[in-house]
Structure 1
Amino acid sequence: MALDETTEHLARAAARGDQRSLGELLARIEPDVLRHCQRLLPYPQDAEEASQDALLAVARNIGRFEGRAKFSTWLHIVTANCARTTYRSLKRRASEQAGELPEQRPDPHRVSVIAGSRLDLLDAMEALEADKPELAQALVLRDICQLDYAEVADQLGIPLGTAKSRIHQARKYVQSMLGEAYG
């Protein structure tokens, strides 16, 4: 989500309480937020739900945007978190409705290979978040938000070497989880 200077300016104005700027900002970022959610979630209706949640989160929390980092970085994090929250919610609802049936892999006749891979990746990310949240944060910033290593370190307030180490460890963790799913 590379946003232009006008969007960054609108975000700073909205963070100061300018409601007109907030409305304009939300209209400008909506397509990018939806595209980002579509990359993370396999089904269009789920991506739309996560997108709406992300836009609502931006509207509610724009006052917390301090402008130290780019708005696009902040937006990436909000969007990725909303997509993961939507996925967890859908997964929890599905398991409640299924009466706690044993977990099954997606039916390859009903789910594309890409969608199935995304589900497995989201499961792996969820496990990483539960087990080692500091690694999950670094991985989301680097591989989903596509920040460079220095930006990840800056966002997390850690040394560059620590950021690189966490990303490496997170990738190994996710890779081992995906290996189990496909092994």
Structure 2
Amino acid sequence: MTNPHQTTRYNPAELTDEELVARANRELLHTTVAYEELMRRYQRTLFNVCARYLGNDRDADDVCQEVMLKVLHGLRQFEGKAKFKTWLYSITYNECITQYRKEKRKRRLMDALSLDQDESEEVVESSINIVTDRASLDRWLVHVNQVDREILVLRFVAELEFQEIADIMHMGLSATKMRYKRALEKLRKSIDNPF
């Protein structure tokens, strides 16, 4: 008599994606054999898609790791209405867009912080590396007052235009731009002279 809790041995490479998804859903609390086979099948293409979309291997690798985690945690919700491959690339596409927007925010912040054309690119680059980490950005934002902090956050995190910020904060457009410029100068000084 066989034990119902005993898993039957199988060769994951011989199963279809759909069969692997079904097995992974049954096994995930105990083993990751089927999940690992799914990821092995798509790992190279997944990386290539990300690298081409994002333009560099470092970001592509980060996004691939994030996608694999989302698949691991989301596999139970996968209903099979679309092919697994379609679902996987939908997650990949969304993660690439998220990463692209993060990089875009970094570039906007770097452009804004590099107002002084005399500074070397290396100094600006090191400044931005400090600021782009969310915890570090929060640490630098304590150097500006609450209103200026809100303007900077709305501009760089929410990516709003100045008119939208002015409307939200019930300020005139020119006053908003002036506060933004002053807040940016304070932020740059605190980055250049951290102590």
TM-score tier (shorter):
0.3 to 0.5
Structure with the greater alpha carbon radius of gyration: 2
Q: TM-score, normalised by structure 2?
A: 0.44
The structure, 1 or 2, with the larger RCO (C-alpha pairs under 8 Å, 6+ apart) is 1
